[in-house]
Structure 1
Amino acid sequence: MDKWLVIGGGIHGTCSAIALREEGVAAADITIIDPHHHLLARWQQYTQRTGMSYLRSPGVHHLHPDPLHLHRFALQRPQPEGAHHQDFMLPHYRPSLELFRAHCEALIHEYQLDQRLLSARAEGLSRPSLPQFTVETSLGPLHARYLILAMGAGEQPHWPDWAKPFKRKDSPLQHLYDPNPLPTLQEKHLVVVGGGLSAIQFAITASKQSSSPVMLLMRHSLRIHAFDSDPGWLGPKKLNNFRQIRDFSLRRRLIDKARHRGSVPLDIARQLWRALREERIQLIHDQITGATLNRNQSLRLYLNKRADPLITDRVVLATGFGRQRPGGKWLEKAIAELGLPVHTDNYPLVDSHLRWTEGIFVTGPLAELELGPAARNIAGARMAAARIRAASRV
């Protein structure tokens, strides 16, 4: 029987496992289950696909409990051969993606977490006898004393209603966060749908590869914010009042209002403006109301403000992730059988240590009704890991 079983090998699960190792938990007492063959696989795939160069969050937000650990790592490591970028971008000291990845890999190796990964999917959760949990997986049952549920929204890309009929493998319409590889873009007329950071970064990257201008179709005007929520949500300035609210519907409304959805930092906005000046990107402010497939496999997009349809070879949706609670049917069943408390939106109601019930902790989206709007990002992973680490001492 494992002492700690972490379900999810992304940013949140890995960050929590590192915190446990820092607290003195032996590597042999931790198992991480994730369907991929290495930790952070999905996160690395998505960041590479969007063309990200620098993270949006400052350099104090990373996977180690010490806020300055990434800075020391940057100073001590040899500069990668052929590197032509700075490790941090001012004014917020945002780390480069290359530096952040190297730091993650070093931590995973140092704490032997790569040896504790089991490539499997969680399929069920039960508690046949105290104090042991049983997690059914695609490779058979696992038993553990403590669980950390660290499933993210990565397997829940949001498909608008008009796009759902094209949700198939050979379709000329794909989601940016589809696990299948995206096609080459050099000779395609491409439309990117979305107005947030991922959409704009991907459009900029694609415009450097395509022989024709990339069309970026967004519903709203460009929204510029340094971060995806006010930094005050990372500390007592806002969280103290948030935690005093016992109406969880009000908490949910505050979370939704606080997030700067569909926004980009100023440096990405400047890159977009440059691509527009160079006519590598054409920006269309409109909304798609429907789509049909032509005989030659091109797509005909019908827009709200435009009389004539827009015809294109390829559409990539960068419309973010769905809002449904991660975990799907197996977690739904566990909630019912174990009597786990949830809000009306099916998200967990947890204590200040992110304890859902004795022995089960949550992080990531599952913790947002306790941690607030930053729960899903790297800063939220650090906040959750610190609370779970503190609870492990008791």
Structure 2
Amino acid sequence: MVGLSSASSEIREGGDPDYDWVIVGGGVHGTHIAQRLLDAGVDRNRLAIVESTGELLGNFRERLRVARVGSLRSPYVHHVGTEPFSLENYAKSKRREDELLPTRRNPRRPTVDLFLDHTDHIIGLRRLGELVVEQEVTSVEYGDSAPLAVRTKTDELTSRRVLLAVGNAGAPEPPGWAEETGRVRHVWEGGEVENAKNTYVVGGGTTACSVAVSLARETGDATLVSRHGLRKAVVESDPRWLNWKHIEKELHHLPVASEARHKRIRKARNDGTVPYHLAEEVEEETEVGHLNRRVGEVTVAFEGDDGVFLRLNDGGTEEAARVVLATGFGDVYRQPFVRSVAEDLDLATGHRGMPVLDDETLGWRRKDGKPSGVHATGALAEGVLGAFARNIATARLAGDRLTRIAREVLSS
């Protein structure tokens, strides 16, 4: 394993930069960790969050909207704030406890509206909007007069350390058959899905079911195509993966950024599952005849005069007015931006491009083994954070590691 080095270990020398920390990405992890760094003593004027939408959780909000999600899968203790019961207390103070919904064998979960309103409350309370730089980062390189330079299309921010909080997934990976027709689109491409009858939604996970249920309710005529029947699970993995000691035991004894770690994480995740409450909604819409179910794998798509024909592996053919894909993403560490950062800074990578991160600091090591000043969180750090790395909950675990670094640096 990569050994733990002092948080104040030498990184590339340079002059006085604009910032001590630049966070690339203003999603859940970036927003939570910014607060943790402030609490650790980082000067507000020395911390920036570079977010292309200009709004904290901007992409997260958009995806919830496009996927037509009404409530979160995660419980009310998982949110952007630093106090575990902050969201619950907010709901009580606003008399919105009815928006904390019952969950099978798990704590209550918030509605999307409650979660986002609480998020905005935290952002306002902590004045986090003042930290946002509305730019799209194009590269992270070694600076001429500072350790690191975060470059955008129009500007450059120099910093001692950079945290990559770039989101939970790579680009959508549509199946090969989807390239044959223009009437097939991925749910994350092209904006909101139009309410149109005879829309086929392809996929078997949470996003596919959410979109299919919403279309069924709006149009009375939608079809969900999945390779298998619904696989139900309360959350995305065994809750023990939220405990750092469990993560160390199950993951950190394996070689860093290795195929073994990748396989262990994939085995631990309940990918492609749906929560019980959403499965019940699918079944309700099916029973009333608004949602059709088709189990099978699409092999060919071709356009007709009025729609698109789908051929399935059982030999059957379906005719749809339009097709929406909700079939998942590629690995975040294969994103072009992430790969370019690794190349420009000569950073070490492992299996499938997984970053070689220090298990205690989330620091991305250079190929020569030295610290780079770059850290990672979210799905990009799943090799360290484990099965829940892409979820809201592990922002707190990442914050614990990075807060320790910030305090050590400030005291050195």
Task: Tell whether the structures are fold-level matches, with TM greater than 0.5.
Answer: yes
In the aligned structure 2, how far is the partner of 1:42 from the partner of 1:387? 25
The partner residue of 1:207 within 208, 211, 216 is 216
Using the TM superposition, give the Cα deviation of residue 180 of structure 1 relative to its aligned residue in structure 2, in angstroms. 2.4
Using the TM superposition, give the Cα deviation of residue 246 of structure 1 relative to its aligned residue in structure 2, in angstroms. 2.2
Q: Tell me the residue number matched to 2:161.
A: 146
Q: Tell me the residue number matched to 1:89.
A: 102
The partner residue of 2:173 within 151, 154, 158 is 158
The DSSP-based 3-state class of the residue aligned with 1:62 is coil
Residues 27-68 of structure 1: per-residue CA shift (max 9 Å, x gap): 322211122131111111111222222211111111122212
Q: Tell me the residue number matched to 2:362.
A: 354
Q: Tell me the residue number matched to 1:30.
A: 47
Q: Tell me the residue number matched to 1:226.
A: 234
Q: 241-250 vs 354-363, which deviates more?
A: 241-250
1:383 aligns with 2:391: no
In the aligned structure 2, how far is the partner of 1:54 from the partner of 1:183? 21
The DSSP-based 3-state class of the residue aligned with 1:89 is strand
Q: Tell me the residue number matched to 2:286.
A: 276
Q: Tell me the residue number matched to 2:386.
A: 372
1:173-322 equivalences under 5 Å are: 173-185=184-196, 188-211=197-220, 213-236=221-244, 238-241=246-249, 242-246=251-255, 248-296=258-306, 298-307=307-316, 309-322=317-330
Using the TM superposition, give the Cα deviation of residue 102 of structure 1 relative to its aligned residue in structure 2, in angstroms. 0.9
1:44-63 equivalences under 5 Å are: 44-63=61-80
1:334 aligns with 2:341: yes
In the aligned structure 1, how far is the partner of 2:302 from the partner of 2:382? 38
The DSSP-based 3-state class of the residue aligned with 1:157 is coil
Letter in 2 for 1:126: E
Using the TM superposition, give the Cα deviation of residue 153 of structure 1 relative to its aligned residue in structure 2, in angstroms. 4.0
Identify if the C-alpha distance between structure 1 residues 87 and 39 changes in structure 2 by more than 3 Å, giving closer, same or farther.
same
Unaligned runs of 5+ in 1: none
Letter in 1 for 2:49: I
**Does the CA-based 8 Å contact 1:124-1:135 persist in structure 2?**
yes
Letter in 2 for 1:353: T
Identity %: 29
Identify if the C-alpha distance between structure 1 residues 331 and 202 changes in structure 2 by more than 3 Å, giving closer, same or farther.
closer
Identify if the C-alpha distance between structure 1 residues 59 and 105 changes in structure 2 by more than 3 Å, giving closer, same or farther.
same
Unaligned runs of 5+ in 2: 1-17, 365-370
Residues 161-203 of structure 1: per-residue CA shift (max 9 Å, x gap): 111344xxxx422211125232232xx2110000011111111
1:323 aligns with 2:336: no
Letter in 1 for 2:125: E
**RMSD over aligned Cα atoms:** 2.0
Identify if the C-alpha distance between structure 1 residues 150 and 324 changes in structure 2 by more than 3 Å, giving closer, same or farther.
closer
Letter in 2 for 1:305: D
**Does the CA-based 8 Å contact 1:245-1:251 persist in structure 2?**
yes
**Does the CA-based 8 Å contact 2:169-2:331 persist in structure 1?**
no
**Does the CA-based 8 Å contact 2:146-2:158 persist in structure 1?**
no
**Does the CA-based 8 Å contact 1:151-1:326 persist in structure 2?**
no
The DSSP-based 3-state class of the residue aligned with 1:311 is strand
Using the TM superposition, give the Cα deviation of residue 238 of structure 1 relative to its aligned residue in structure 2, in angstroms. 2.8
The DSSP-based 3-state class of the residue aligned with 1:92 is strand
In the aligned structure 1, how far is the partner of 2:35 from the partner of 2:237? 25
Q: 130-139 vs 215-224, which deviates more?
A: 130-139
Residues 63-113 of structure 1: per-residue CA shift (max 9 Å, x gap): 12221222222222354xxx9x43342442212211111111111112222
In the aligned structure 1, how far is the partner of 2:244 from the partner of 2:396? 15
**Does the CA-based 8 Å contact 2:48-2:133 persist in structure 1?**
yes
Q: 281-290 vs 379-388, which deviates more?
A: 379-388
In the aligned structure 1, how far is the partner of 2:215 from the partner of 2:74? 24
**Does the CA-based 8 Å contact 2:198-2:222 persist in structure 1?**
yes
Letter in 2 for 1:336: E
In the aligned structure 2, how far is the partner of 1:37 from the partner of 1:237? 36
**What is the number of residues matched between the two proteins?**
380
Using the TM superposition, give the Cα deviation of residue 303 of structure 1 relative to its aligned residue in structure 2, in angstroms. 0.9
1:127 aligns with 2:136: no
Residues 340-376 of structure 1: per-residue CA shift (max 9 Å, x gap): 1211311111111111134211001111101111101
